[in-house]
Structure 1
Amino acid sequence: MEKIAFLGLGHMGEPMARQLLAAGHPLTVWNRTAAKAEPLVAAGAEAAASPADAVRDADVVITMLAGPDAVRDVAEAITPALRPGIHWVEMSTVGPDLVKELGERVPAGVTLVDAPVMGSTDKAAAGRLGILAGGDAAGVEHVLARFGPVTRTGALGSGAALKLVVNTAVIGGVALVAEAMKLADALGLDEATAKTALAGGPLAGAVARAFAADVHFGSDLAVKDVGLATGMAQLPVMEAVSGHLEAAAADPDVVHEDISRAVTHIRARRDA
């Protein structure tokens, strides 16, 4: 079994790392907030004091971090410690440009794979995420399959690109549901009746996500993802969605909460 270093133990990273432990992989973990590693250590993982220490003896390195800045910081720390033959799997949602940047930085003999995921914390805990793998993923596909079904997307960066497409559709759909419910509120319709009608139409999946419970995708992360998407192409609808999300994320009670809280915020806005 490959020795795996897992860096980033947030809402998604922690349950994903548990899947690797359950499969029997020797696992070293690191997180900027060290206390978040303690439950995994109790389950059998080894905690590293730094990103470089985590990857030094690893066969596979997995990074699952909040965004581009965090990935760049960790990349700077681990790149000198990556040995030839290591596979580095970058699973954060950062866009294809950063993946290309990382590809230009990795040492000779290190294989970089971009493999962001589809799904939230519930699917991460169940091992049912969808994995979008770009680049030469053959050497790690069996590891990625511990998290859920793997789709090979093409060249390096294509997984990160497709993840932006998927997230744009999901976030845009959730915002559209929020505005439809805002209209229902304004028209005095019964909330449950409006929600049921929407759930029976073509936006059924977006309705389910807009009102989901026990999952987590923070409004701040949604703002980050929409910003990545609108930086790649002219997307007027998503620019409007970004305004909604930025307003929600400005509320300290909402910023790190699931985007379902942003739906409530959008419905309550008087200037939208």
Structure 2
Amino acid sequence: MGRAIAGRLVAGGHNVAVWNRTPGKAGEIVSAGAMEAAGIADAATGADVVITMLANDDAVRAVALGALRSAIGGQTVYVDCSTVSPELGAELAAAFPGRYVAMPVLGSPAAVEAGTSALLAGGDTGVVDRIRPVVASLSGTARRYDTAQLAITAKLATNLLLLSEVVALAESFAVGRSGGLRDDQLRDLLGASSVLPAGLANRFEDMLTGSQDGWWATALGAKDAGLALDVAAAAQVELPAARAVRQRYEEAASSGLRDADIAAVAQLYQVGAAH
């Protein structure tokens, strides 16, 4: 996703410096016109906006509250697009007062590249206004929230919905196959259904055929479901279905599908085998 964001900004005419925690992963974006920074400080120095897209709270905290905080300029706006906990959003807002925006992304890397993703921007209105050129380059749709915590919560709510839908579709396939329906019949019955949202429709064929390709790993799906559960638990709300959904992704991740797309959760449902 980070590569898609950087590529979209390069295509929009922005001067972009990139740094990846894994050496060599930035090659495609550098070839497209970005400058590869030697490190966090090199990437942040002189920037109007610094954007991070990382896997989890620990990764964001290590980067943002480590080298980035000491390197970032006083007028630079820090934007985190990662899916993290609302608590970390509050922590970052305190660490970067008046210059932090939480901006999770709704949509696939392909949607980001096409400019059709939706952005959830949370933070002070004046700070969000300062990054308007970046927002305009990335997407025509930006929903605003008063705080980082609200934007992050909105992201977790939408992620939980899609994660649950993927498990539900996998179980629909399992019911059909258990009763003797062929895959072509399932495709005809469910594939053209008007009730399938875009995120699910995009994964339909991969789920039916057992493909593991994609961008949202099962381990990250389990993490996101867990974050959603934590939000509800803090308000003393029980989410039994969400707990079961998280368990399915944890099982997928622990069964050799850790880096496979969340569509691979369908592989847990083998007709004739108990799970």
Above 0.5 in TM-score?
yes
For 2:188 and 2:84, the matched residues in 1 are separated by: 35
Counterpart contact for 2:162–2:200, Cα < 8 Å: no
Deviation at 1:114, TM superposition (A): 0.5
SS of residue paired to 1:189:
coil
SS of residue paired to 1:70:
helix
2:135 corresponds to 1:111: no
2:16 corresponds to 1:13: no
Match of 2:210 in 1: none
Q: Which amino acid aligns with 1:221?
A: L
Match of 1:181 in 2: 173
Q: Which amino acid aligns with 1:16?
A: I
- The one-character-per-residue Cα deviations of 1:75-129 (angstroms, maximum 9, x if unpaired) are 12201112211111110000211110111222x5x51000000011221221211
Counterpart contact for 1:116–1:133, Cα < 8 Å: yes
For 1:140 and 1:104, the matched residues in 2 are separated by: 19
Deviation at 1:201, TM superposition (A): 4.8
Which among 91, 113, 117 is matched to residue 101 of structure 1?
91
Range with greater deviation from structure 2 (118-127 or 261-270): 261-270
Deviation at 1:50, TM superposition (A): 1.6
For 1:207 and 1:82, the matched residues in 2 are separated by: 39
For 2:240 and 2:163, the matched residues in 1 are separated by: 14
Match of 1:6 in 2: none
- The one-character-per-residue Cα deviations of 1:26-73 (angstroms, maximum 9, x if unpaired) are 111000112012222222221112212211211100001111111011
Which among 248, 259, 262 is matched to residue 252 of structure 2?
248
Deviation at 1:237, TM superposition (A): 0.3
For 1:211 and 1:28, the matched residues in 2 are separated by: 36
Which among 88, 91, 104 is matched to residue 81 of structure 2?
91
Range with greater deviation from structure 2 (262-271 or 110-119): 262-271
For 2:134 and 2:272, the matched residues in 1 are separated by: 44
SS of residue paired to 1:164:
helix
Deviation at 1:269, TM superposition (A): 8.5
Q: Which amino acid aligns with 2:101?
A: V
2:138 corresponds to 1:144: no
Q: Percent identity?
A: 35
Counterpart contact for 2:115–2:137, Cα < 8 Å: yes
Counterpart contact for 1:62–1:91, Cα < 8 Å: yes
Q: CA RMSD in A?
A: 1.9
Deviation at 1:22, TM superposition (A): 1.0
Counterpart contact for 2:214–2:260, Cα < 8 Å: no
Which among 47, 54, 67 is matched to residue 43 of structure 2?
54
Deviation at 1:175, TM superposition (A): 0.5
Which among 10, 16, 23 is matched to residue 27 of structure 1?
16
Range with greater deviation from structure 2 (55-64 or 182-191): 182-191
Deviation at 1:207, TM superposition (A): 4.5
SS of residue paired to 2:18:
strand
2:54 corresponds to 1:65: yes
Match of 2:201 in 1: 208
- Relative distance call for 1:50 and 1:264 in structure 2 (3 A) is same
Q: Which amino acid aligns with 1:258?
A: D
- The one-character-per-residue Cα deviations of 1:165-221 (angstroms, maximum 9, x if unpaired) are 000001001101111111111111122323433345564126414425574211111
- Relative distance call for 1:271 and 1:141 in structure 2 (3 A) is farther
Q: Which amino acid aligns with 1:163?
A: K
Q: Which amino acid aligns with 1:190?
A: R
Counterpart contact for 2:167–2:245, Cα < 8 Å: yes
2:144 corresponds to 1:155: no
Q: Say how many residue pairs are matched.
A: 258
Match of 1:258 in 2: 261
- Relative distance call for 1:16 and 1:220 in structure 2 (3 A) is same
For 1:203 and 1:195, the matched residues in 2 are separated by: 14
Deviation at 1:150, TM superposition (A): 1.1
TM-score, with structure 1 as normaliser? 0.88
- Higher normalized helix content (fraction of residues): 2
